[in-house]
Structure 1
Amino acid sequence: MNQMKCKICSKVLVGRNDKLFCSVKCKNYYHVNLRKVTDKEVKELDTILHRNRSILLELLGKRKGQITVERMVLEKKKFTFKYHTHVHMNSKGKTYHYVYDLAWMEFSNDEILIIRKEK
């Protein structure tokens, strides 16, 4: 029978067959270090997403509807088009790129439609 070993210290595991760590100390060590590596990447991405949302919100203002702006306006504000939280395609085949509750859709003539998702 193949004995399972701790992911951190390689001690033979005793107990349940799905156990990954020999002790709470090894388990905590693993998760703390995993979080350190992940936090850096996530923090950089979150900063970009929040900046993108702030730019869209600034342009949309308190309007409940939608506005159209030129692509250059977003580019000047350092909007990063490749980062968004999700994508939605409507029934007409138009793609909306969302940053949390705000979205934009690109037109072929360098215009961008900005909308707020209704609750």
Structure 2
Amino acid sequence: MKCKICSKQLVGRRDKLFCSVKCKNFYHVNLRKVTAIEVEKIDSILHRNRSILLEVLGKNKVQVTVERMMLEKKNFTFKYHTHQHINSKGKVYYYVYDFAWMEFSNDEILIIRKSK
């Protein structure tokens, strides 16, 4: 087998992946950098989505129904959410942290704030 970084022949255990601590550290540092960049992009989208839901719902309301187009105009990204829940009727609630939305067939969106 050869080192994942410098391609030197490996000596020692069969499951060894790197020839030295230097190559191992190089690999993991770069892996963390790439991961951090992607996580930052996605986290930014999630935070923007939450801010949009908070703006639309307001501070005192628990739920509101809005047109899908209104969220799209505010650059809400529907494909990014933190988790989802399927209720007893088979409807899917998509969550962004403490806010959720459910899509209706008539292009209306129900937005709710999860109770604490």
Band the TM-score falls in, shorter-chain normalisation: 0.7 to 0.9
1:104 Cα deviation from its structure 2 partner? 0.4
Greater mean deviation of Cα atoms: 5-14 or 20-29: 5-14
Unaligned regions of 5+ residues in structure 1, if any? Answer: none
1:83 aligned partner = 80
Structure 1 counterpart of 2:87, one-letter code: N
- Is it true that 1:58 corresponds to 2:52 in the alignment? no
Greater mean deviation of Cα atoms: 14-23 or 86-95: 14-23
Change (3 A) 1:81 1:14: same
Q: Deviations over 1:65-112 (max 9, x none)?
A: 322222222122111112222222111010111112211001122221
Unaligned regions of 5+ residues in structure 2, if any? Answer: none
TM-score, structure 1 normalization: 0.81
TM-score, structure 2 normalization: 0.83
User: Aligned Cα RMSD in Å?
Assistant: 2.0
Change (3 A) 1:68 1:31: same
Counterpart of 1:16 in 2: which secondary structure?
A: coil
2:15 pairs with one of 3, 13, 18: 18
Structure 2 counterpart of 1:102, one-letter code: F
